[in-house]
Amino acid sequence: MEHILSWLVWLPIIGMVVITVIPRSQEDIIKKVAAFFTGVQLLFSILLWKNFDSANGSMQFMERAEWIPSFNISYILGVDGLSLPMVILTSLLCFIGVFVSWNITKAVKGYFALYLLLDTGLIGVFLALDFFLFYIFWEVVLLPMYFLIGMWGGPQREYAAIKFFLYTLFGSVLMLVGIIGLYFTCGKTFDILLLMETAPDALKNELWWGMSAIKVIWVLLFIGFAIKVPIFPFHTWLPLAHVEAPTAISVILAGVLLKLGVYGILRINYGLMPDAVWWFAGSLAFLGLINVIWGGLCALAQTDLKKLVAYSSINHMGYALLGMAAVIAAGSINGGDLKAAQAGLSGAVFQMFNHGTISAMLFILVGVIYDRAHHRDIEGFGGLANQMPIYAGITALAFFAGLGLPGLSGFISEFMCLIGAFPVFKAIVIASTIGILLNAAYFLWAFQRIFFGELNEKYSDLPEINRLELFTLIPLAVITLFFGIYPRPYLDLIKATMDVIIENVVFVANFASM
């Protein structure tokens, strides 16, 4: 248990090194090695979960080492209730993703080597507690993603890859400026925990070009994270990248990559600049509303199934934003409604996880049908429910989870987000409930067009979903169902950390006059 976090981060890199020494022709062994290393990583993250003290809201399993002392850069890892579920989600999806990519035939060696590098980057972002390290992992994610989309993607893969890369790089650059700004105003350190203590005071009266420094840094970092979430108007890389990426990469993109943004906002923006949360929460809720409505409307109009799912991600992340904005309900100005703050924030963090599992399922399902029919046009199917009953059943589960049906996990987090945000942002929340209808409309309509009606003659010999595909879907389906019925294990895990975040924001607010 001593260095479990380091093991989690570097295991895939070891796997990558192993893969690079395997001859290119041994494709089967390469796949098995990738499965082995991600599997061990999953075991480690479960072990971490087992040993995690959920009553303790602060960082655990901390690791600290000097790295570049002249710039005060250290190697710091740590895990708390906010990052632990994300770590588990990442290792789970990366493990499942290996099996989703089992049918890759093009340059298998390169694919899995990059895949494992991506894995390291993702886990690293969630565990890094040094801002510099965080940024490095953040960029490490970008690089393999570029190649994975650009080389193994669909017809427009190069355009999609370059767009994704430039879009996110643009955000990263702004973020880097923000990081450097923080570094120089807050005592020349990259240690996030230290910054959490010093930043609020150091930034308080700082003015840059006549603007409050805290707002400038907030906005810089926020844009960097917002592009990953993605928050309207920074969302257009997403449909393209999701559609063009190979199935497993879409799963990782939707399941984990989008969470980096929300995680970053909660960890960095909320942690380091709690004053500005008050200033920005209204905009955040409003952006959430736009995400919900805009994503929903766009999804309704899609004819490409994968694009529909991609837009539904935009829609779903909107709820998480609403929930995050609810934190300020706990402040005395808003009547100190701690219940709403807890519901909203936990809802947002729960929504991250649920969207991760649900959208992963959705993308795998799209991949399954694409592998068989070689197109994704919703109008081009019809009557598949009798042809592929098991597939139809699992798709129904995933779609209903996506549209927020009670008994499935998506409902609980959405409802918590909305109910949390309601006391503070009544009009916005009421407007965003239209999203509940939109969700149902686009999912049901798509379901009807694909599965109901007379069977399309072209597909009368379409094979049913196979065992490997089932193996990738069932764990996710079980999680969705389980948390939908009994969300308590998850919520108990994050509760203490959520309280710490709320306390941090509210404590500051009671002394700030923003």
Q: Which tokens sit at 408? A: 């499935």
Told to check if 423 binds other proteins by CB under 8 A, we report yes
Q: Which tokens sit at 111? A: 């694919």
Told to check if 481 binds other proteins by CB under 8 A, we report no
Segment near other proteins (CB under 8 A); pick from 129-137, 145-153, 233-241, 271-279 = 233-241
Told to check if 158 binds other proteins by CB under 8 A, we report no
Give min distance, CB of 338 to other proteins, in A. 4
Give min distance, CB of 241 to other proteins, in A. 12
Cis ω for the linkage preceding 230 (within 30 of 0): yes
CA distance 55 to 491: 12
Segment near other proteins (CB under 8 A); pick from 66-74, 269-277, 465-473, 485-493 = 485-493
Told to check if 36 binds other proteins by CB under 8 A, we report no
Q: Nearest-5° angle of CA 151, CA 153, CA 159?
A: 80
Q: Closer CB to other proteins, residue 179 or residue 418? A: 418
Q: Which residues contact 498 (CB under 8 A, 6 or more apart)?
A: 57, 81, 82, 342, 345, 346, 349
CA distance 278 to 59: 25
Q: Closer CB to other proteins, residue 20 or residue 386? A: 386
By the 8 A CB rule, do 89 and 60 touch? no
By the 8 A CB rule, do 16 and 116 touch? yes
Q: Strand pairing of 73-79 and 207-208?
A: unpaired
Told to check if 470 binds other proteins by CB under 8 A, we report no
Told to check if 183 binds other proteins by CB under 8 A, we report no
Q: Closer CB to other proteins, residue 380 or residue 393? A: 393
Q: Quick one: which of 339, 471, 478, 510 contacts other proteins (CB under 8 A)?
A: 339
Told to check if 405 binds other proteins by CB under 8 A, we report yes
Give min distance, CB of 168 to other proteins, in A. 13
Q: Closer CB to other proteins, residue 2 or residue 454? A: 454
324: exposed, middle or buried (Cβ count in 10 Å: 0-12, 13-18, 19+): buried
Helix H or strand E segment including 510: none
Positions of E strands within 70-175: 73-79
Give min distance, CB of 187 to other proteins, in A. 34
Segment near other proteins (CB under 8 A); pick from 13-21, 139-147, 249-257, 338-346 = 338-346
Give min distance, CB of 12 to other proteins, in A. 32
The residue type of 153 is G
Site string for other proteins, 282-311 (x = CB under 8 A): ------------x--xx-xxx--------x
CA distance 154 to 222: 31
Site string for other proteins, 368-397 (x = CB under 8 A): ---------------x-xx------x----
Q: Which tokens sit at 272? A: 């380091």
CA distance 53 to 383: 50
Question: Mapped to the 3 state alphabet, what secondary structure does 152-220 carry?
Answer: HCCCCHHHHHHHHHHHHHHHHHHHHHHHHHHHHHCCCCCEHHHHHHHHHHHHHCCEECCEEHHHHHHHH
By the 8 A CB rule, do 454 and 382 touch? yes
Told to check if 166 binds other proteins by CB under 8 A, we report yes
Length of the chain: 514
Q: Which tokens sit at 501? A: 């975040």
Q: Quick one: which of 388, 401, 436, 509 contacts other proteins (CB under 8 A)?
A: 436
Give min distance, CB of 111 to other proteins, in A. 28
Positions of E strands within 401-485: none
Segment near other proteins (CB under 8 A); pick from 24-32, 213-221, 356-364, 409-417 = 409-417
Told to check if 346 binds other proteins by CB under 8 A, we report yes
Q: Quick one: which of 20, 58, 103, 448 contacts other proteins (CB under 8 A)?
A: 448
Told to check if 15 binds other proteins by CB under 8 A, we report no
Binding site for other proteins (CB under 8 A): 163, 166-167, 233, 236, 239-240, 294, 297-298, 300-302, 311, 337-340, 342-343, 346, 383, 385-386, 393, 400, 405-407, 411-412, 415, 418-420, 422-423, 429-430, 433-434, 436-437, 440-441, 444-445, 448, 451-455, 486-488, 491-492, 495, 498-499
